[in-house]
């Protein structure tokens, strides 16, 4: 199984590192007026794979399917809901065989625990996350990787509705390992509200789109690197193309298609 492909979306989902520059960031609407139908990821050689989204009756994403540029099936994610809460997320490989799943548990309306299991072939708990909140927003996420016996925690700071900084520490000795900011445009994030329970995930919980990623510390070392993201938008104010600038190179990375009401 190609885990880089299978969990490519997952990697994007947990880049929860956000910051708002000197723009007025709008407060989120209840639901976006445009829903992403497809998201195309481009490789440096010009080939691509496409994610297609299916929504349930509440307007939440219920399935994500990845296919390569020839239409060949790559992987699939399936979201299982209990009312308006995600109960499980199932992951399928290129043979459409389930290989892993997430379990979510709640206290009241707040997600407080997330568990990631792999089937290889026996079911094994690999990652466990617990969530703490302040002022109804996630403040701290603790993560244990039981596969490699590591533990860390991340502290979240908000400006308005957006996370503005995330600092990650080793649990054992409180050593700072990563410190990241992001900056935003003042346009609508099409993924806002598409996933009902994913605290700390900027794609699901920030009303705006990332325009700059700043790495202050990476793997325990000061770096000070930054990456700039540029978009073109449709008439509804949603991104349709996304490029990232690395030094003097501008790389077209993503394109979006929508169903707008």
Residue 58 Ramachandran class (φ > 0 left, ψ -120 to 50 alpha, else beta): alpha
CATH number at residue 201: 2.40.160.150
* Measured distance CA(194)–CA(102) in Å, rounded: 17
pLDDT one-digit tens code per residue, 78-126: 999 998 889 999 999 999 999 999 999 999 888 999 999 999 888 999 9
User: In angstroms, rounded to a whole number, what is the distance separating the alpha carbons of residues 15 and 182?
Assistant: 10
Number of domains the chain contains: 1
Residues in the chain: 261
Whole-number pLDDT of residue 146: 94
**The pLDDT of residue 9 is above 90:** no
* Cis-peptide, bond into residue 201, ω within 30° of zero: no
Which residues span the domain enclosing 17? Answer: 3-260
Give dist(CA 72, CA 94) in Å, integer: 9
pLDDT of residue 46: 84
Given a cut of 80, whether residue 23 has pLDDT beyond it is: no
> Does the structure show a pLDDT above 80 at 37?
yes
pLDDT at 4 over 90: no
The 10s digit of each residue's pLDDT in 206-227 is 888 989 889 999 999 999 888 8
Residue 83 has what pLDDT? 84
Q: Identify the residue with better confidence: 30 or 59.
A: 59
Report whether 144 contacts 174 (CB < 8 A): no
Please tell me the predicted confidence (pLDDT) of residue 197. 64
**CA gap 127, 53 in Å, rounded:** 26
With the C-alpha atoms ordered 91, 197, 214, 172, is the resulting torsion angle positive or negative?
Answer: negative
pLDDT in tens, 114-141: 999 999 888 999 999 999 999 888 999 9
Q: What pLDDT, in 10s, does the model give residues 173-189?
A: 999 999 999 888 999 88
Task: Tell me the pairing of strands 137-145 and 162-170.
Answer: unpaired
213 with 253: CB under 8 angstroms?
no
């Amino acid at each position: 199984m190609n885990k880089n492909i299978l969990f490519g979306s997952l990697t994007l989902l947990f880049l929860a590192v956000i910051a708002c520059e000197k723009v007025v960031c709008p407060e989120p609407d209840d639901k976006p007026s445009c829903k992403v139908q497809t998201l195309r990821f481009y490789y440096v050689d010009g080939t691509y794979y496409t994610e297609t989204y299916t929504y349930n009756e509440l307007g939440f994403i219920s399935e994500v399917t990845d296919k390569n540029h020839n239409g060949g099936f790559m992987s699939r994610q399936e979201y299982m809901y209990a009312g308006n809460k995600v109960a499980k997320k199932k992951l399928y490989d290129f043979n459409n065989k389930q290989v892993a799943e997430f379990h979510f548990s709640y206290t009241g309306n707040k997600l407080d625990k997330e568990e990631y299991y792999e089937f290889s072939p026996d079911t094994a708990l690999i990652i466990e996350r617990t969530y703490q909140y302040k002022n109804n927003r996630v403040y701290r996420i603790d993560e244990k990787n039981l596969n490699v016996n590591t533990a860390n925690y991340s502290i979240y700071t908000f400006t308005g509705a957006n996370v503005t900084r995330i600092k990650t520490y080793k649990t054992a000795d409180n050593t700072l390992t990563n410190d990241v900011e992001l900056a935003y445009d003042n346009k609508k994030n099409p993924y806002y509200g598409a996933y009902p329970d994913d605290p700390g995930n900027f794609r699901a919980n920030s009303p705006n789109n990332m325009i700059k990623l700043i790495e202050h510390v990476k793997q325990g070392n000061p770096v000070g690197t930054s990456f700039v993201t540029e978009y073109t938008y449709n008439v509804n104010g949603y991104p349709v193309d996304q490029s990232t600038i690395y030094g003097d190179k501008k790389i077209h990375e993503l394109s979006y298609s929508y169903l707008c009401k």
